[in-house]
Amino acid sequence: MTESSSATTRIAVLIDCDNVSATHAGAVLEELATYGTPTIKRAYGDWTTHQLGGWKNALNLLAIQPVQQFSYTTGKNSTDSALIIDAMDLLWMGNVEAFALVSSDSDFTRLATRLRESGKRVIGLGERKTPASLRNAVDQFIYLELLGDGEPGETAEPSTGGSTSATGRSRNRRGPVAAGQGTAPNGTASNGAAPNGAAPGTADAGSGEPEAPRINLESALVKAVNATSNDDGWAGLSRVGQHLSRAHVDFDPRDFGHQKLSTLVAEQPYLEHRTDGGRMEVALKRRAGRK
């Protein structure tokens, strides 16, 4: 998405509060501001329960509209149904160009694919425990753990390793940085992934869902350069980035300790880069003895 188009893109932000901690609210809206303007901001949950008490300050501070949905039956998630119905209403109203689904729940997989079938851009935001079905159903998936701390003044929900909402489903509550992670010097969350993007092979404690494997960074970059390079072997960085986003919807330079793709690429020993006409180009390094 170009800078000019993102400036005019209207985004509907729909948050599954049974599934997302309030500590992420501010960081989510700040992240989405790089893709467009969040014109609709709604948070779904049963606000009569104490489990969502931590959301009150975030809703007031960030002007997010709470949508009340009573849990009529234990074990049934009526919140998901309310969010899906609103999303379809917004789709047919035609007031937005993009949707941001903030949840780690795979129940929204079909909603994401339906919105994309109608020509809408869909951005998913969730924890690393998010099932692959939902991650692969959106145009781009962003891990909440990479977004840093929440807005000042927000109240974090109790972190007890997993709380049960009024719907009867166990929900894991985590802060902005997952357990076992630190903070990188540039302020991003350090996930402990190996430089080559190997999968950690660990599970999210208490959630029952394994963490999403990290992509193999070297393999992904090499394939992206080969797929987008000209006859001389050089590829524009923007085209490389577009290819990476299409091939790996959850690719994010911050997952590897970099805020931008340009600095990530410049650090890789198997790539070389140059600036041509004010834009960065990338190529595979030629091996010794190769003409």
**What does the alpha-carbon distance between residue 27 and residue 22 come to, in Å, rounded to a whole number?**
10
**What does the alpha-carbon distance between residue 19 and residue 104 come to, in Å, rounded to a whole number?**
6
Task: Give the N- to C-terminal CA distance of the chain in Å, as an integer.
Answer: 37
Given this model, what pLDDT does residue 80 score? 87
Average pLDDT over residues 58-82: 79
Instruction: Give CATH 3.30.420.610 domain extents, the chain.
Output: 217-284
pLDDT tens string 72-90: 555 456 788 899 999 999 9
**What does the alpha-carbon distance between residue 142 and residue 28 come to, in Å, rounded to a whole number?**
9
Given this model, what pLDDT does residue 98 score? 97
Look over the chain and give the mean of its residue pLDDT values, rounded to a whole number: 77
The pLDDT > 90 percentage for the chain reads 39
Q: Whole-prediction pTM value?
A: 0.65
pLDDT tens string 1-28: 555 556 689 999 999 998 899 999 999 9
SS3 144: helix
Q: What are phi and psi of 14, to 5 degrees?
A: -120, 115
Q: Which CATH architecture has domain 217-284?
A: 2-Layer Sandwich (3.30)
Strands (E), the chain: 10-16, 37-45, 65-68, 98-102, 121-126, 140-143, 163-164, 170-171, 182-183, 189-190, 235-236, 271-276, 279-284
CATH of 3-190, one of 3.40.1050.10, 3.40.50.1010, 3.30.499.10, 3.40.50.920: 3.40.50.1010
Given this model, what pLDDT does residue 194 score? 41
pLDDT tens string 91-139: 999 999 999 999 999 999 999 999 999 999 999 999 999 999 999 999 9
